[in-house]
Amino acid sequence: MGALLEKKNCIVTGGAGSLGLAAARLFLAEGANVVLVDRDRHALEQAATDLPTERIALAVADVSKAADSEAYVAAAVERFGLVDVLFSNAGNFGVVAPIGDYPEDVFDAVQAVHVRGAFLAAKYTVPKMRDGGSIVITSSVAGMRGDPGVYAYITAKHAQIGLMRCLAKELAPRRIRVNTIHPGPIDNGFQHAVEAGLGRATGVDGAAFFNGIIPLGRHGTAEEIARSVLYLASEQSSFTTGTTLMVDGGMNV
């Protein structure tokens, strides 16, 4: 066990999912207290089965709702005290469709989680944050490129960069650093669902397609993303704010 986040109080949204849970595990191994936020209680309880109960808390919340966001931040503060790290990571994908067919409700639902969710997380956490803390927002390689039909997700992932940049400037006087992390395709359920959709729409093997456009020639792992999140969350990156950290095997190049 290391100590890069010793006694640091961390909030992880999407904490029952692949990247959120991998980051939470690493934060805990580095000495942190962690509040896992997700919308599904059962998934949260499953995720927490082998985590140290004295250093975790679970909060059921829809990150796109203001009252839920205020409540999970309040629960985190009540349990552990002021917040040091916010990992704003909850996400959904939407569908892939030509612009003329793209469903408006799907577009709105995807912006609600990534954009409104990350905005609300910051809005309610920042007043309860210790100076010198860190905010990490999970964008994506999709925040750096366009692809036909991926309207909701790619728009949302670009928007998170704008949010991050405003926060980084506003919060710098308090030494709160704010950065986005940009994973490439990860070998997990979220990406497998994306690839299955691509396969249905085009007939291509989705996994092989992505491996073909990633210079390192493979998907990443949740643990690889977690290590980069730890870097941004900890003092290892003490002079880094307002930046976009690509962790994508070179896919954005």
Ligand X SMILES: NC(=O)c1ccc[n+]([C@@H]2O[C@H](COP(=O)([O-])OP(=O)(O)OC[C@H]3O[C@@H](n4cnc5c(N)ncnc54)[C@H](O)[C@@H]3O)[C@@H](O)[C@H]2O)c1
Instruction: Look at the block and give the residue holding tokens 């036909």.
Output: 148
CA distance 46 to 155: 32
Q: Does 20 bind ligand X (CB under 6 A)?
A: yes
Closest CA to 68 of 126, 127, 123: 123
Subset of residues 29 to 48 that bind ligand X, contact rule: CB under 6 A: 38-40, 43
Subset of residues 71 to 90 that bind ligand X, contact rule: CB under 6 A: 89-90
Active site residue 153: yes
Pair of tokens at residue 76: 């985190």
CA dist 205 and 218 (Å) reads: 14
Q: Which two tokens stand for residue 131?
A: 């100076």
Nearer to ligand X, 32 or 90 (CB): 90
Nearer to ligand X, 224 or 242 (CB): 224
Q: Which residues pair with 87 in a beta bridge?
A: 12, 136
What character string, x for contact with ligand X (CB under 6 A) and - otherwise, covers 137-156? -x-x----------------
When asked if residue 17 is in the footprint of ligand X (CB under 6 A), the reply is: yes
Give ∠ CA 141-129-233 in degrees, rounded to 5.
35
CB of 174 to ligand X, least distance (A): 25
Q: Tell how far CA 209 is from the center of its chain.
A: 24
Is 158 a residue that touches ligand X (CB under 6 A)? no
- As annotated, the active-site residues are 153
Residues that bind ligand X (CB under 6 A): 14, 16-20, 38-40, 43, 61-64, 89-92, 113, 138, 140, 183, 185-186, 188-191
